[in-house]
Amino acid sequence: MEKDTTARLLDAAEYRMRRGGYNSVSFRDLASDTDIKSSSVHYHYPKKEDLGVALIDRYAERFFDALMVASSKAQTPKEKLYAFRKVYRGALYEDKAVCLCGLLGAEMAGLPPALVDGVTSFFEANVKWVSDALPDDLSKAEKYKRASTLVAAHQGAMMMANSSDDNKLFDTVTEFLISNTLGQD
Amino acid sequence: MEKDTTARLLDAAEYRMRRGGYNSVSFRDLASDTDIKSSSVHYHYPKKEDLGVALIDRYAERFFDALMVASSKAQTPKEKLYAFRKVYRGALYEDKAVCLCGLLGAEMAGLPPALVDGVTSFFEANVKWVSDALPDDLSKAEKYKRASTLVAAHQGAMMMANSSDDNKLFDTVTEFLISNTLGQD
DNA sequence: GATCCCCTATCTATTGATAGATTAAAGCTT
DNA sequence: AAGCTTTAATCTATCAATAGATAGGGGATC
C-alpha cells in the first residue's frame, strides 16, 4: 500500500522542520516535495499551525512506540535506559537530524500557541518514562532529578552532535551519563 | 554614552533570534525595534548572513568574557565548573531565553554556511574550556568525555527549562551533574 | 568635499491563505 | 442497472502581506 498524501506531507514537513525549524517550512516546499499544489496542502492542513500540531502528534506517538519496542525485553533500569538511548540514537543516526521537539522547544517563544503544549508534553512524558525506568528504591525527587538530567543530556548531545557533524559525540556523552547516573546509588 | 546603532541592532536581533530562530528575524522587525528604516539596517549589515555572523561573534565574545569574570577567583575544578554553570544560568535567567548557539546549532542544516563555523567553534571552545577546568589527573579522553557531557547537559537543560517554562529544571540538572561528574574520580 | 548614516522609493520573490472550478469515486434512489 | 447526489481530493488563479535586497538622494560631520 502506498503512503497517502497526509503521510507524505508529514514526512516532507518533518524532514524540513527538523533541519531548519518551524519557519523554514513553507507550503510551497511541501507541495513540490509531494508533487501536489500548495492549495492542496491547505486542503489537508488549513493552517500551518494545524500542520505543526499533526507533526508533533505523529512524532511523539512514533517516539513512544519505538520506545516500547526497544524496551520490551528490558528488565533492569540499565537495560531500560539503554533502550531510551537507542531510540534517541536512531533518530539521530537514521534520520540524520535532531529531535523535532528539541528544535521546537528552543524556538518555543516564536511558535503558535497550539504547538507549545505538544512540545511541553513530549518532554514531560520523556522525563516520566525515564523516571519509571530508574531503580524503585530512589525517592521521587531523586528520580525526577536524574531523569531530567538524562533527557536534557540526550537532547543536548543530539544538538551538539548535529552541529559538530560528529555523531560519536552523542554516543560518548550518553554512554558516559547512563553508566555514571546508575553507577552511584 | 548611548549605544550605537549596530549595538542596538544586534541587541534586537539577538532578542528575536534567541526566541524564534534564524528565520524568525526580519530586517523590518529590526528596523522597527531600533526606530530606523529597514534599508538602514542593510547599511550596517548588507546581507542577513552578515548580521548572523556578527551576532554569533558578539555572543561568543560576551560569553567567554563573562566566563573569565565568573571564574577569575575560582581555584578548584568544582569552583570553575560552578562558574561555567553561573554564566549559562545568567543567560537563561536574565535574558529569559536559550543560548543563541544552542538554538542555531539545532537549526544548523538550514543556516547559511557562514554561520555554521561560528556555532561549531562556540561549542568546541565550550568543551575545551570545561576540559581545562577538570582535574589535571584525568586523561585527555576522560576530560573530553566529561566536558562534552557537561556542555551538552547545560544546553539541553536550558532548552528544556525554556520549553517547560520552569527554570528550576536547569538548576536541578546542572547542580546534580556537576557534583556527580566530579564526585567520582 | 568626502565620508558616514539614514532616508524614500522600489523591486522581485516568497509567504500563508482563499475562492471557485474540476475530477473521480462512492452512495443512494428509483 | 441507470441516473442523480454527495464527498473527497485536487486543480487554477489570485490575494495581501512580508521577505531580502538595491538605487539613489539628503543632511550632518570631519
Domain ranges of chain B: 56-183
Contact assignment for B162 to A108 by CB distance below 8 Å? yes
Residues of A in contact with B88 (CB under 8 A): none
Going by C-alpha positions, the residue among B120, B131, B122 that lies closest to residue B62 is B122
State the Cα–Cα distance between residues A51 and A41, nearest whole angstrom.
Answer: 9
What's the number of CA atoms in the CB half-sphere (13 Å) around residue A20? 15
**Strand C nucleotides where any atom sits below 7 Å of a protein CB:** 5-10, 14-20
Flag whether pLDDT at B104 surpasses 80. Answer: yes
Q: Mean pLDDT throughout A46-58? A: 97
Model confidence at A184, pLDDT cuts 50, 70, 90, reads: low
Class of the B56-183 domain? Answer: mainly alpha
- Which residues of chain B make contact with A152, given a CB cutoff of 8 A? 153, 156-157, 159-160, 169, 173
**Would you state the torsion angle of the CA atoms of residues A98, A92, A49, B170, taken in this order, to the nearest 10 degrees?**
-50
With a pLDDT cut of 90, the percent of chain A lying above it is: 95
pLDDT at A181: 78
The pLDDT value recorded for residue B165 is 94
Instruction: Tell me what the mean pLDDT of segment B73-94 comes to.
Output: 97
- Report which of residues B183 and A51 the model is more confident about: A51
Cβ contacts of A60 within 8 Å, gap of 6 or more: A101, A118, A121, A122, A125
Q: How far is CA B164 from CA A121, A181, B46, in A?
A: 9, 23, 37
Q: Residue A53 CA to C23 C1' — how many Å? A: 30
The verdict on a CB contact (< 8 Å) between B21 and A181 is no
CA dihedral B99, A176, A173, A185 (to 10 degrees): -30
Contact B108 A163 (CB under 8 A): yes
A35's grid cell: 508533487
Mean pLDDT value of segment B145-171: 97
Band of residue B62 on the pLDDT scale cut at 50, 70, 90: very high
Question: Residue B37 has what pLDDT?
Answer: 96
Nucleotide nearest B40, CA–C1', reads C6
Asked whether strand C has any atom less than 7 Å from the CB of B37, the reply is: yes
Contact A107 B24 (CB under 8 A): yes
pLDDT digits (tens, 9 = 90+) for A87-103: 999 999 999 999 999 99
Whether the per-residue pLDDT at B1 is higher than 60: the answer is: no
Q: Round the average pLDDT of chain B to a whole number and report it.
A: 95
What is the fold of A55-183? Answer: Tetracycline Repressor; domain 2 (1.10.357)
Strand D–CB B17 distance below 7 A? no
Q: What local confidence, expressed as pLDDT, does residue B157 receive?
A: 98
| Nearest residue in chain A measured CA to CA from B100 | A106
Burial class of residue B138 in the structure, from the number of CB atoms within 10 Å of its CB (0-12 exposed, 13-18 middle, 19+ buried): middle
> Closest residue of B to A112, CA-based?
B20
| Band of residue A185 on the pLDDT scale cut at 50, 70, 90 | low
CA of B185: which chain A residue's CA is closest?
Answer: A180
pLDDT of residue A180: 83
Between the CA of B63 and the C1' of C11, what is the distance in angstroms?
40
pLDDT for B3 equals 81
Give A66-79 pLDDT, tens digit per residue. 999 999 999 999 99
Across A10-109, the runs of DSSP E, i.e. the strands, are: none
